[in-house]
Amino acid sequence: MMAKRIPTILPDLTFEESLEITKIHSIAGKLEDSNLVTQRPFRSPHHTISANGLIGGGKIPKPGEISLAHFGVLFLDELLEFNRNTLEVLRGPLEDRVVTISRVGASLTYPCNFMLIASMNPCPCGYLGSKEKACTCSKKQIQNYRAKLSGPLLDRFDIHIQVPSVDYQKLEAKCGETSEQIRQRVNEAREIQVKRYQEAGIFSNVELTPKLMEVYCKLDKESKELLSQSFEKLNLSARAYSKILKVARTIADLDKSESIQKMHLMEAIQYRSLDRI
């Protein structure tokens, strides 16, 4: 069953994005009332989904979950409960932003420019690093558990964040920004990106090519030295290197900064927590 609730912090759609999403949902037979889609898709398939269900298929190939999440979010809860072979089919589409489905009667290509968000426990029992309860897993069990997620797929995630348990006092305090306030900041950052990339034919930082990154993700000397040190210390891949720059560019946009500052880069590097394990 798919999640029906649309997260309110997702940015507004442009008209061009709405048209593309509507076409895909129409082809898949999931368009409601033949109306233009005006909200970003949020897809949350169950971990028992097949590879065909994820990328698309059928005698006449129809879009799968990754295409139905085009310009929206694909959320995989309990990531390591998914079949590893099913997860591996995501590698190409995440990189290319399109998926080609070939059958005897037809070969079709669908767009799939989606944001992949996933959650997983730190270990089989779920208590590794918890203050509430001691972890009962052996080192070998933890290694086998994490091995379900391949290095190449993990490398395709822009951000890794460990979420510690929250105590009652913090829950009761209910401090911080509301979803609507966050959404406003996100919309403002996306507007900056849309205007910046008008001539480039893209909508957001995630779509930056290596050539465009040379233009829009320039670093000063101090920031270059910091990234070089982090690259060697964390043994980062070339893919992780580019993802850090794109995340830093986004942080700078949220900060309404025209250039990437050292503090933006430092924050982006901190979001690669699984590279440090």
Domain boundaries, the chain: 1-120, 122-157, 172-276
Q: What's the residue count for the chain?
A: 277
70 close to 34: Cβ distance less than 8 angstroms = no
Domain 172-276: assigned CATH number: 1.10.8
pLDDT at 80: 93
Alpha carbons 111 and 103: distance in angstroms, whole number: 18
The pTM of this model reads 0.85
Domain 1-120 has CATH 3.40.50.300: yes
- Vertex 251 angle, CA 263 and 90, to 5°: 125
Per-residue pLDDT of the chain (277 residues; tens, 9 = 90+): 344 445 567 888 889 999 999 999 999 998 877 789 999 999 999 999 999 999 998 888 899 999 999 999 999 999 999 999 999 999 999 999 999 998 877 789 999 999 999 999 989 998 888 877 899 999 999 999 988 899 899 989 999 988 877 777 776 776 678 888 888 999 999 999 999 999 998 889 999 999 999 999 999 999 999 999 988 888 888 888 999 999 999 999 999 999 999 999 999 999 987 765 5
pLDDT at 78: 94
